[in-house]
Amino acid sequence: MQDFLNFIKQKNIELSDDKIEFISHFFNFLRDDNSSIFILKGYSQTGKTFISTLLHKYFLSKGISSKYFFPTGRASRKFNFDNKGDFSSTIHGIIYDWKNRQENIKEKYPIIVPLKDNIDEIDKLHIYFIDNAASISDMASQDKFVFGSGRLLYDILDYINIDNHKNKLVIIGDMTLLEPVNMNISPALNKEYIIEKFNIKPYEYTLIEQQTQVSKGIFEISHMLCNAIERKDYNTLQIQDNNDVIILSDDSFIDKFLELKKSYLFSQEVIITSSNRIAIEYNKKIKEKMGKDPKQLCISDKLILTQTAYIDGYIIYSGEFIYIDSLDPDQIVVSEEINNMKYIIIIRKANIIHYVTKHPTLLSVYLCESLLTMEENDLILEEYLAIDKYIQKNEKCDHKISLALKVKYGYAITCNKAHDGKWKHVFVDCETHHKNKVTQEYFQWLNTAVTRSSEILYLKNVPNINLGMDLNKKEDDIIDYRILGENLINMIKKNINILSEYDIILDKIAQNLYTLKFIQNNITTAINIFYKKDFSISAIQPINNNEESLIIKDALASMINKKIGQDYNTIIKLNNEVLDNIVEDIINKLNKANLHTEIKLFPYKIRFMINDNKEHVTLDLAYNKKNVITDRKFNCYDNIEMINKIKNILGI
């Protein structure tokens, strides 16, 4: 440890107290032959990457094997650019063996990309750092490319050979950012998950001290959201204008974006939304205001890649931006029949500019123009087969059209695509698919979005959450539909033995419908499960018409008319930090106004009996299982003047 501190001192770096404490724990971890994982957590601006990078450089300087990974190529490239060297790689690029991929000869897809053999020497210390780990999933996935087991976290531990305690894994991330798609937690940062799933007890440390490197207003919003997530208190959120936080109306949102867009040549501004559908609408409006057809690519258009592209040895990573320099005037129209269905794909040849450093790269590529105005990020299997069929029928056709870049307009993007990016000017539409914003999921989404800005944050549809908002909702209105979907999966695994060995993932959530994927032996079967208003299952319908689908449908038949639900039987007592804070705040405000208050507790309800020695008023606050305030009611027979007085005191 002391040698590392001397290494830092030579660089004239001073560490905060919590970083010095972390270093002490970390070097104890390196000496511990019974532990192989260290989880380093912290909010934005706590210096997680800063201190782990110093450790990585220190180990390299001492000739100790050390590797630094990121989940995405964009984050890895930026890290290397900032550190002026090839210090990091992508997880996929290191642990998976693309050269030895296995193609299904008859069907062509899926393509299996196996795990590499780790050639690091046994019985020698190897340290692996994985940053931005909040987005690492451990959910089995099925696509046209299947990497390893399909479970990224599982494959990381498998590749590292985590049972060999000479191999040390440091997992770094922020628990207040978006979780992986279709997961309720960030498994790589969850100590309990790693203990349960992998029988490994990690070291863990959370950095607390934040350095304000972003603008003050943005820092304050993020700090407020992080504290709420830490306390699990989502009952209050009020955002005000600031020098660097500007709230805009609908009319001025796009106009301000276009005004700034003219000031920069390359990507200093972006609009962040919650879905591809909303992003498409914004991109359409922006193109129209620029006097261009949204369905047609134009010179100078800004595009974002939705899949990593390999172009004659050059890589453009998913999430990176390109700009159109010139376009072939003629489109390539692929129109082929696959399984008695006609598929049409539009492809266009173009010269593009990829701007990573101060020196842009000019490349000649094919672009998949069909995806520009579609919600999907990729073509479906049949469309890939249609392109292959078109190439076989047209001898003069350039085979490289099969590698056409998957792109969308890059003016407005989803929060998931923005996850590891930074821009000077970020425009966030705070309206999302979350019907109920008083949830951890929404607070994490918003924190991820606002912390993408390094200078000025522009907001639209800003949430105003407080006890005075319209809370007269039924319990159904505040159901967390993602958790409900996980409950459905648990019901299936618990009650239907034949399906307990399947990997079951939540694929889609729609009104009165869940789509689940059942995966076994790399075979995926998708099933639609319909439910009524009372969450009782009304119908089960396979999407795939095959033998596996019929087996699963028959197995699930016993669930018809059974309810998907959450257990509301347990009465929550008031010894809860979130509820205690709310009650304390109300009582303090009433005491300052010389009002006396008594409290009574009921299942999911707190009653305040307030009096001024002359009149009395009863205020009931109802809350749900997640400690979210769901209703506020005064006794309608109480004195109206005193009710209004209390409303003013409490700000409701």
Could you tell me the CATH number of the domain that includes residue 555?
Answer: 3.30.310
Domain boundary among 141, 173, 207: 207
Domain boundary among 559, 591, 626: 559
Same domain? For 72 and 203 the reply is: yes
pLDDT, tens only, 208-263: 887 766 678 888 899 899 988 888 888 888 898 888 999 999 889 999 999 988 76
> 167 in a domain, yes or no?
yes
Task: State yes or no: pLDDT of 144 exceeds 70.
Answer: no
What pLDDT shows up at residue 565? 64
The amino acid occupying position 561 is N
Same domain? For 489 and 638 the reply is: no
Report d(CA 451, CA 436) in Å as an integer: 22
Report d(CA 25, CA 30) in Å as an integer: 9
Which residue range forms the structural domain that includes residue 645? 577-650
Same domain? For 504 and 644 the reply is: no
Same domain? For 614 and 489 the reply is: no
With tokens 């089960």, the residue in question is 540
Same domain? For 45 and 156 the reply is: yes
pLDDT, tens only, 313-368: 889 999 999 999 999 999 999 999 988 888 999 999 999 999 876 678 999 999 99
Q: Which two structure tokens, joined as six digits, stand for 308?
A: 């990593």
Could you give the C-alpha distances from 648 to 157, 599, 644, in angstroms and in order?
56, 20, 6
Same domain? For 102 and 197 the reply is: yes
pTM of the predicted protein model:
0.72
3-state secondary structure of 473: coil
CA dihedral 608, 613, 617, 623 (to 10 degrees): -10
The amino acid occupying position 235 is N
Same domain? For 633 and 524 the reply is: no
What pLDDT shows up at residue 324? 94
Pick 488 or 480 by higher pLDDT: 488
End-to-end CA distance of the chain: 54
Same domain? For 630 and 491 the reply is: no
What pLDDT shows up at residue 474? 38
Pick 78 or 212 by higher pLDDT: 78
**How many domains are there within the chain?**
3
pLDDT, tens only, 418-447: 988 889 999 999 998 766 788 888 999 999
From the list 599, 577, 624, 603, the residue with the least C-alpha distance to 471 is 624
Beta strands 269-273 and 412-414: pairing type?
parallel
pLDDT, tens only, 452-472: 998 999 999 998 887 644 444
Q: What's the pLDDT band for 568 if we cut at 50, 70, 90? A: very low
pLDDT, tens only, 494-524: 888 888 888 898 887 766 788 899 988 878 8
Same domain? For 496 and 602 the reply is: no
Angle of helix 577-592 versus helix 216-231 axis, rounded to 10: 110
Report d(CA 596, CA 611) in Å as an integer: 5
> 398 in a domain, yes or no?
no
What pLDDT shows up at residue 104? 61
Same domain? For 544 and 598 the reply is: no
Same domain? For 18 and 164 the reply is: yes
Q: Is 408 exposed, middle or buried (0-12, 13-18, 19+ CB in 10 A)?
A: buried
> 437 in a domain, yes or no?
no
Beta strands 405-409 and 245-247: pairing type?
unpaired
Could you give the C-alpha distances from 434 to 163, 184, 245, 480, 481, in angstroms and in order?
41, 15, 23, 9, 9
Contact between 502 and 518 (Cβ < 8 Å): yes
> 543 in a domain, yes or no?
yes
pLDDT, tens only, 381-407: 889 889 999 999 998 899 999 999 999
The amino acid occupying position 626 is K
> 323 in a domain, yes or no?
no
> 78 in a domain, yes or no?
yes
Domain boundary among 156, 174, 207: 207
> 435 in a domain, yes or no?
no
Report d(CA 93, CA 86) in Å as an integer: 14
Report d(CA 627, CA 652) in Å as an integer: 19
pLDDT, tens only, 161-212: 888 778 999 999 999 998 887 777 899 999 999 998 899 999 999 998 877 6
Same domain? For 95 and 192 the reply is: yes
> 320 in a domain, yes or no?
no
Task: Tell me the CATH number at 27.
Answer: 3.40.50.300
**Which range, 122-136, 558-572, 595-609, has the best average confidence (pLDDT)?**
122-136
Q: What's the pLDDT band for 567 if we cut at 50, 70, 90? A: very low
Report d(CA 294, CA 409) in Å as an integer: 9
Q: What's the pLDDT band for 411 if we cut at 50, 70, 90? A: very high
Task: State yes or no: pLDDT of 137 exceeds 60.
Answer: yes
